[in-house]
Amino acid sequence: MQVPSKLWTNEDFPTWQRIIRLDAVRANGEWMPYSPSQAVVPDCRAHRSAEAVGLKDYGHLDASRIFHAARLVAILEAYALYDPEIGYCQGMSDLLSPIVSVIPEDHEAFWCFVGFMRKARQNFRLDEVGIRRQLDIVAKIIKFKDGHLFRHLQKLQAEDCFFVYRMVVVLFRRELTFEQTLCLWEVMWADQAAIRAGIGKSAWSRIRQRAPPTDDLLLYAIAASVLQRRKLIIEKYSSMDEIIKECNGMTGHLDVWKLLDDAHNLVVTLHDKMKIETSLR
């Protein structure tokens, strides 16, 4: 892989490196579950890999996680050079971890991550245009599905749905287990592939009761997770901070199959309405 020479002198790169190393250790210690594909890594190999990328403060990790963290650093540094407009932002390590876990070769994992980031990079733009668009869609889904809940959010000045910001940025990675993350992402990718192939609309017209493929399945799933807690939010919470705490507390407490069922039901119910709403903007 060739990288234009001007990128190597980018003054932001040393800063990116420091943050990447910290995030790689955090991602493995806090969010990354034990991966069977990297279960047997000799200590010497793990420590060599860590030293090669300048990894520090990893003594609390076992060999497999040290090796995984070192791979994260190498690939994320390469991506920061590949896409200097975005560089590195916190949260990218969460998106890369599942890819690295299932793809053993760094060069293959890198190019898969590049493809993944073609859509996800909007989440890391400084102007936050992509994030605001997605939060707006989540808000509309909740508004159209449950006016009572949405009015309560308005009363709390939370109708912008900022409380799901983290879910949007890292695609539910921190709320779901490793296996659940792969499940949700693969269903999302299947929808996106169906749309690219142009088969979504015709297939749905034949079986109207099923949810059509959508580019926004993640956002329907996020809205579904909030709607599952509507009673608690309406009856117990009186501030945005309380809702943020509730959303952050979903980690480890979500049923991904129920989440997908609810998301698909929302798509069936609201797809046409959301499409009209989007076309009028």
Closest C-alpha among 98, 100, 97, 92 to residue 117: 92
How many angstroms separate the CA atoms of 19 and 272, rounded?
A: 43
Give whole-number Cα distances, 267 to 175, 200, 201, 261, 270, in Å: 21, 13, 13, 10, 5
What are the tens digits of pLDDT across the range 81-125? 999 888 888 899 999 988 988 888 999 999 999 999 999 999 999
Topology at the third CATH level for domain 129-280: Cyclin A; domain 1 (1.10.472)
5-121 has CATH 3.40.50 classification = no
The two most distant CA atoms of the chain are separated, in Å, by 60
Selected residue with higher pLDDT from 159 and 35: 159
Could you tell me how far CA 223 lies from the centroid of its own chain? 14
What are the tens digits of pLDDT across the range 212-261? 889 999 999 999 999 999 999 999 999 999 999 999 999 889 999 999 99
How many angstroms separate the CA atoms of 95 and 113, rounded?
A: 8
Amino acid letter, residue 127? D
> Which contacts of 199-203 are long-range, i.e. CB under 8 A and separated by 24 or more positions?
none
Q: Is the pLDDT of residue 6 over 50?
A: no
Interior angle at CA 122, CA 145 and CA 141, nearest 5: 0
Residue 127: φ, ψ to 5°: -80, -10
**Domain layout of the chain by residue ranges:** 5-121, 129-280
How many angstroms separate the CA atoms of 36 and 28, rounded?
A: 14
